[in-house]
Structure 1
Amino acid sequence: MSKPTTTDAGRRTDRRVLIRASIYMVATHVFAGFVILLFEIGSRKNG
């Protein structure tokens, strides 16, 4: 039994999905780090 593959215009999309998911994960972590940095800077100014 073969594994079903997703195709887009006859091309496999597994690799593109993996790349896109990786980019989203990296971007989310960078954004979260920036928000944490803002909270750290804000707490040092007030406290």
Structure 2
Amino acid sequence: MTDEPEDTAAAAKHEKWLEKGVALRAFFYIFGTHLVAGFVWLLFYLGQHAQK
């Protein structure tokens, strides 16, 4: 029974670590999606204004 507070603290620390991982992954996915969308937008813009 003496291990319960330590187990609880370790579980809480692990859960915080998982939350940070999810938040970081979501940030990179959102950033990456916007980066790709911006590049596609740039290609369309340059294609529209190209000398033909």
TM-score by length of 1: 0.74
Structure with bigger helix share is 2
Q: How many angstroms apart in 1 are the aligned matches of 2:24 and 2:18?
A: 10
Partner of 1:33: 23
- Give 1 or 2 for the bigger CA radius of gyration: 2
Query: TM-score, length-normalised on structure 2?
Result: 0.68
User: What's the Cα RMSD here?
Assistant: 0.6
**Any gaps of 5 or more consecutive residues in structure 2?**
38-52
Q: Provide structure 1 residue ranges, at least 5 long, that are not aligned to the other structure.
A: 6-11
Taking the aligned partners of 1:16 and 1:45, their CA distance within structure 2 comes to: 43
Looking at both structures, which has the greater relative contact order when contacts are Cα pairs under 8 Å and sequence separation is at least 6? 1
Runs of 4 or more consecutive aligned structure 1 residues displaced over 2 Å after TM superposition: none
State the identity %: 5
Q: Which one has a larger percent strand, Structure 1 or Structure 2?
A: 1
Structure 1 residues 1-47: aligned runs within 5 Å: 5=1, 12-47=2-37
